[in-house]
Structure 1
Amino acid sequence: MLVSLQLGSLISPAYACGCGAMVPSRDSQVSVDRETSVVGWDGRTEQIVMRLTVRGDAPEAAWIMPVPHRASVELGDPGLFSELSVLTEPELVTRHYFWPRSHDWPFSASGNVGDGAAAPSAAAPSVEVVGRERLGPFDVARLAATDPEALEKWLRDNGFDLPDRLATALKPYVDQKWEYVAIRLAPRESGTRLVGTLDPLRLRFASDRLVYPMRLSKLASTPQQLGLYVLAPHRMEPRGSIGGDTPEVTFAGRIDPRSAVDDTTALRELTGEKPVFLTAIEQSFPYPERIDGDHQLRAAAADTLYRPKVYENRLLTVGGIPAWVLSLLAAVLVAAVAALLVLRARRRRAVPGTVPPPASAPTR
């Protein structure tokens, strides 16, 4: 599975992530080790479920994410990520070999058989607070803004101390009349640091196209690695590389949460228990400054299935005994039987036969 997103620095001490910007409190550091994203889209509504794993010495941090339409925010189910990880596991294919290798008996004392390879009106104020709530460890503010500088000022006034460059980076979203979700990340207990895997957040907003915000990642100073689980009616693909390497599909298949063998409670909640097509996508951004837009995803030409294979090499055995040992034993047995038959034949030829008496002379 998913599919993860490796994150690099925005400008010290801030950090960029695939669809937002992360900034710690003053005189502290924070980094996002991993961001896993699940994107669901039914043609009318888009959902993004994100889970961050962070480390550092910051008592709190801020994260801002642009969205094309007004969004609702709630806590997500952590089980969603483990469910998708199981569903997208590579197919295990066992390949047998006959002769022992260096790690097999008798070359290795361990005796192991094998190992695996494993939008507001003109009259609206510059910044409009459309909602604010507390969700677990998160203080969530949903904003609409027509002026990037006013947005930055509001965030500063409300405890989100963002770098100056962010106002410029946000301007394209303001021009498109996008809105924002600004979130203060804080530990559950005061006096502790912001570290570990945070509760996932689930954003939902109207959208007639599937878009994944990426523009803010151009502020990162280290390479970015994007990973997405995409749940949609068909196999999906990015319209372009947006300045990164060519996107790679690592899994594509139709899944039905109602008939899944494994427990998929979180997945059923996200999809409404409807069969969907799951596409896992990975992409590298070795030069984040080249990112020139947001990912827009479209249906592929065909719902072609793809599942990677992981090959496990195992020594061929019969009843737990290496086949090469049995073959050698069989060869020895055949040779012994053949030698015995030859020996018996030779003994039979060596035994003297009965000499008949001489014929008597005829009498006269």
Structure 2
Amino acid sequence: MLLALLATQLGSLISPAYACGCGAMIPDGRSRIGVGRESSVVRWDGATEQIVMRFSVSGDAHRAAWIMPVPGRATVELGNPDLFADLAELTRPEHRTRSYFWPRDGDWPFGSGDGDKVGAARPGTAPPVGVVGREQLGDFDVARLTATDPQALRGWLQANAFELPEGLATELGPYVAQKWEYVAVRLVPKEAGRTLGGDLDPLRIRFASDRLVYPMRLSRLAKTPQSLGLYVLADHRMEPRSAIGGAAPEVTFADRIDPKGGRSGTRGAALAELTGGEPVFLTAIEQRFPEPARIEGDHELRATASDTPYHRVVYADRLLTIGDGVPVWSLTLAGAAAAVVGAVALARRARRRALGHVRARV
């Protein structure tokens, strides 16, 4: 899963658990908002990229806004929340049991625990800002924009109630230079007086792209360590070209999947709709950014040399026992002790016999 949030408010910085790797989220006025989790799914077929994201938020904000740069003309619609359940089913860790011989802390005689431990393993004459479209999607007011000047973009956003933090124009500069476009979203509940909370409706953003790219540059504004979680659906196993200033990316799942069903055989209509029902390769990637200011660009992903599957395994370690739970090690020690006693007895008997033969000769 993308776990990300860059949450700020005018005049102060909020410190939530995660940061939004795809854009900036800001509450209205002096209210607060925290994103406990942002889940992102990327589908790329070599020509078109789709990003589906869902925020789980808390706080006292009645409105909030965020912005996401995209490399081409985008369409925006509501996504299917069942998509995330489908992927969670497909990528859940495998659970295995393994036994250990010698007792550990918590096992008798060192304690009374059960011994189980779980581990894981365009410029010119065009206006500075152009409005491609604007839609109301559920609780979202979505504007799709072009811009030839980062300060003009920031000014338009502020004039249209998209309050954004200082420093954002600077970070938007490279996107303007590359002629990217933008999706600006205001989260405004349709019910008057309701605060933003819980799981918001997912948004699905689609744009043409001949390379798989996930915007990350705006996370440079974060002041606390950040995390990235990403599901990637493509023809092959994918990997980031570089760490872009973070820790080494970690693959937590990689395998070709049937989007029409999970491991249990249940159908996944949301996943099948996103992929067109065809088998795809699913790569799940996690990455940490201890120092967000060091993020040097966006993630560009490429196919790996081979489509090697990888499944995460979680082990439950149990003390090796037999019968009614008798530890094998205790039987082994008992057997060893018996063997020692027997050996000593045999040695003594042999010694007596030897002494008897000596006396007899005398």
Q: TM-score range by the shorter chain?
A: 0.7 to 0.9
Aligned residue number for residue 227 of structure 1: 229
1:296 equivalenced with 2:300 (yes/no):
yes
Correspondence list, 1:127-206, <5 A: 127-206=129-208
Structure 1 CA distance, aligned partners of 2:243 and 2:117?
37
Structure 1 CA distance, aligned partners of 2:139 and 2:274?
22
CA contact (8 A) 1:73 1:203 kept: yes
CA apart distance, 1:199:
1.2
CA apart distance, 1:5:
3.0
Instruction: Indicate the larger mover: 22-31 or 33-42.
Output: 22-31
Aligned residue number for residue 317 of structure 2: 313
Aligned residue number for residue 24 of structure 1: 27
Structure 1 CA distance, aligned partners of 2:196 and 2:155?
24
Correspondence list, 1:44-193, <5 A: 44-97=47-100, 114=116, 116-117=118-119, 120=122, 122-193=124-195
After superposition, the C-alpha distances for 1:14-34 in whole angstroms (9 at most, x for unaligned) are: 665101011111122222222
Q: Give the TM-score taking structure 2 as reference length.
A: 0.81
Show structure 1 runs of 5+ residues with no match. Answer: 332-364
1:252 equivalenced with 2:254 (yes/no):
yes
Structure 1 CA distance, aligned partners of 2:181 and 2:5?
25
CA apart distance, 1:322:
5.5
Which residue identity does 2:253 align to in structure 1? F
CA apart distance, 1:165:
1.4
Q: Which of 1 and 2 has greater Rg?
A: 1
Structure 1 CA distance, aligned partners of 2:102 and 2:285?
39
Structure 2 CA distance, aligned partners of 1:230 and 1:212?
10
**Residues 276/11 of structure 1: CA separation in 2 closer, same or farther (3 Å cut):** farther
Structure 2 CA distance, aligned partners of 1:206 and 1:319?
63
Structure 2 CA distance, aligned partners of 1:273 and 1:253?
16
Structure 2 CA distance, aligned partners of 1:83 and 1:320?
41
Which residue identity does 1:122 align to in structure 2? G
Identity in percent: 62
Correspondence list, 1:205-244, <5 A: 205-244=207-246
Q: Secondary structure at the match of 2:311?
A: coil
1:33 to 36, 39, 44: 36
Structure 1 CA distance, aligned partners of 2:134 and 2:151?
21
CA contact (8 A) 1:130 1:142 kept: yes
Structure 2 CA distance, aligned partners of 1:11 and 1:93?
50
Which residue identity does 2:45 align to in structure 1? D
Q: Give the TM-score taking structure 1 as reference length.
A: 0.81
Structure 2 CA distance, aligned partners of 1:179 and 1:259?
36
Q: Secondary structure at the match of 1:124?
A: coil
CA apart distance, 1:185:
0.8
Which residue identity does 1:225 align to in structure 2? S
CA contact (8 A) 1:147 1:174 kept: yes
**Residues 169/11 of structure 1: CA separation in 2 closer, same or farther (3 Å cut):** farther
Aligned residue number for residue 274 of structure 1: 278
Structure 2 CA distance, aligned partners of 1:235 and 1:117?
26
After superposition, the C-alpha distances for 1:291-348 in whole angstroms (9 at most, x for unaligned) are: 11111101111111111111112355678765759x89xx9xxxxxxxxxxxxxxxxx
Structure 1 CA distance, aligned partners of 2:201 and 2:281?
26
How many pairs were matched up?
A: 329
After superposition, the C-alpha distances for 1:36-92 in whole angstroms (9 at most, x for unaligned) are: 111110000001111112222211011100000011111111111121112111121
Q: Secondary structure at the match of 1:84?
A: helix
CA apart distance, 1:122:
2.3
CA contact (8 A) 1:236 1:300 kept: yes
CA contact (8 A) 1:31 1:55 kept: yes
Structure 1 CA distance, aligned partners of 2:54 and 2:11?
22
Instruction: Indicate the larger mover: 185-194 or 165-174.
Output: 185-194
Structure 2 CA distance, aligned partners of 1:133 and 1:320?
67
CA contact (8 A) 2:78 2:201 kept: yes
Structure 2 CA distance, aligned partners of 1:202 and 1:97?
48
CA contact (8 A) 1:35 1:50 kept: yes
